[in-house]
Structure formats: C-alpha cells, structure tokens
Copies of this chain bind each other. A is one copy, B any other.
C-alpha cells in the first residue's frame, strides 16, 4: 500500500480542564490538532504510512505541533517550516443543555498565508496512492483554494485516490463561496465525506423529513442526498455521518456509505460523550483506512462508525485507538466490561 497524504492546517488547541467554562479557566490543556491532521493520526494508528503536508512556523510553538504528530507516528518530513503564527482554537466542553463552544483564532496563520510556491505536489505524491483534504483548507484563503485545485490535479495525474470531507465552517466562508469553490474541487474527489448538515450548507442538497436541531434524522432522506452528491460530482463513494444530539452528553451516532448505487447503513451507537471534537475526522480516517485496505462496503462503514464512536469517548481531537479495538466494538463488544 502506498502512502496517504493529508493536507491542511495544524493548530494549537487550548481547552479548560473538565467542564470549566473559558471565563473560569486559569489553565488551558494544550494539544495540537486540525481536521486533516486528525485523519493522519488515525491512519498512523491503524498502521498506515501517513504523511502530513502543511506550513508551520519555525518557532517553539510550531515545533511542539510537529513533535505532536511525530509522537503518534505521522511522517512530518513534508511539512514546510515558515511563516509567523500557528492558528489557535479554544474549546469549551459543553454539558447537558449547555453546548460546547469553539472559538477560532486562526486568521493570518502560516498556512493560510501560504501560496502555490510553498508546495511541490509532484514530489509530495511520490510513493503516495491516497490524498485527503477537507473543506476547511480551501476555506482558509483564496490562495489555498487554488493550491487545493492544483493538488487535486496533481493527484489525479499521479493516479492517487482523492478523499475529501466537506467540513463546512460558517465562520470561515459563506455558503455561497463554499458552494462555488467546493463545486470545482469535488469533481476530482473519489470518496466524499460529509456530516448531516454539510451537503445542505455547501450544495443546497437537503435531506427530506429531517430536522437536525431536533435530533430526528431520516436515513432514507440521506440516502437520496448521497445519491445526488454521487451523481452530480461523479464520486465513487459518498459517506455521511448521522449525529442525533440528545444533549451535550448523549448523542446517537451512525453513518451511511453510498457506493455503486447502493447504500450501506451502520449500526447506531448511543454515545455518552467524553469529547466530540474530532469525531467526524476519526470517521474519515477510519473510512479511508477501511477502503484503502479493501474492506467491503458494509465493513467499511461499520469500521468508520465504530472508530468514531470510540473517538468520542476519548479526550482531545486525536483518535487513540487501534484497529483491533475498533473491530472489537464493531463486532459487538460495546458493554464496556473491564479488560484485564
């Protein structure tokens, strides 16, 4: 199997401990994360040869970010070290009726100011056979949107499979802008990933009979959404995560994979949440691993949903689980008995 290239921003994540609100915090737990970096760590945990492509400042904060990826086995040799600042985001964990809050301080980050000349895609894709990015990367700047397009073209040329998570972030760009930019990128994408809101936000493709806020979700509606995405952009596979928020502590979690005209629905998990940030990325990382490893469609979606269920029981963004732990859960061991 070839290398998997993940391209995106790596940020410093700061969160108060436990359920403290930011205004109460005298300390922040510090970790380093980002949509595509989270995927890279998942892949490395499953034994994949995962490399991360980014631009990170050459200071102690940037070095700490790079070290963090190395710790989990991600290849960091393709990261360019330049620029002034690492993006930062603050996370406040919600509880019960109080929602989690994410505050971004990522403007002017090194990667968002990077340009085409910072990346040599031909050399990056040497030995690679998979390329992953998310809708966050092109949202960071017009320059990065172009870079993503170049990357997709170079990937196609190199015969590299492309996956993309729509990952719409309303505070980075408007729905219109997202629709336009992603509309030009997704045609290159082989495996498209989205959550229950993305397709509607970015492409205006809405699931019928579904009210995301209320927690009621119609799987039939999402089957249509996936089919429509697949048809419109020619994606070989479309995967959709389905979250039913009961409260900040308790969520239903499932997923669907649409491929070759058929849809495969996973089991549903009622999750008592430890930290849901990074949940979608852990789904993407597991799905890529499953498809990269030749799992069947049903196995792939079960693996991706079980993996991302486990992520939400783990602190911080990265999904620290092994392939065998995920398989144990997808094969039915979810009652949490002590393992001695």
A14-41 residues with Cβ-Cβ distance < 8 A to B are 14, 18-31
How many copies make up the complex? 6
- Chain B residues near A329: list those with CB within 8 A: 97-98
Asked whether B25 lies within 8 Å of A30 as measured between CB atoms, the reply is yes
Residue contact B214 to A335, C-beta cutoff 8 Å: yes
Chain A residues 52-101 with CB under 8 Å of chain B are 59-61, 63-64, 67-68, 70-73, 84-86, 88, 90, 92, 94-101
Which one of A122-130, A151-159, A255-263, A306-314 contacts B? A306-314
Q: Is A3 an interface residue (CB 8 A)?
A: no
Contact A269 B22 (CB under 8 A): no
Determine if B31 and A103 form an interchain contact, defined as CB atoms under 8 angstroms apart: no
Near B by CB (< 8 A), chain A positions 224-260 give: 245-250
* Structural contact, A97 and B334, CB atoms closer than 8 A: yes
Inside 8 A of A29's CB, which chain B residues have their CB? 26-27
A150 at interface by CB-CB < 8 Å: no
Contact, CB under 8 Å: A64 / B25: yes
> In the complex, are the beta carbons of B249 and A338 less than 8 A apart?
no
**Would B107 and A84 count as touching, CB distance under 8 A?**
yes
Judged by a CB distance under 8 angstroms, whether A320 is at the interface is yes
A209 neighbours in B (Cβ, 8 Å): none
What's the nearest-Cβ distance from chain B to residue A23, in Å?
A: 5
State which of B27, B247, B310 has its C-beta within 8 Å of the C-beta of A334: B247
Across the interface, do B213 and A24 meet the contact criterion of CB distance under 8 Å? no
Whether A104 sits at the interface, judged by CB under 8 Å, is yes
A245 to B21, CA, bound (A): 25
Contacts A103-B60, A245-B337, A334-B247 given; indicate if A310 touches B27 (C-beta within 8 A): no
Q: Is the CB of B24 within 8 A of A315?
A: yes
**Given A23-B320, A64-B23, is A309 in contact with B97 using a C-beta cutoff of 8 Å?**
yes
Within 8 A of B (CB), among A100-158: 100-105, 107-108
Which residue of B24, B107, B340 is within 8 Å of A320 (Cβ)?
B24
A98 adjacent to B338 (CB under 8 Å): no
Q: Does A276 contact B (CB under 8 A)?
A: yes
Q: Chain B residue with minimal CB distance to A30? A: B28
Q: Chain A residues in contact with chain B, CB under 8 A?
A: 14, 18-31, 59-61, 63-64, 67-68, 70-73, 84-86, 88, 90, 92, 94-105, 107-108, 169-171, 212-215, 245-250, 269, 271-274, 276-277, 306, 309-310, 312-316, 320-321, 325, 329, 332-340
Please list 9 pairs of residues, one from A and one from B, whose beta carbons are closer than 8 Å in the complex, sorted by A's number: A21-B60, A25-B30, A26-B29, A27-B27, A98-B321, A100-B338, A213-B332, A249-B272, A250-B272
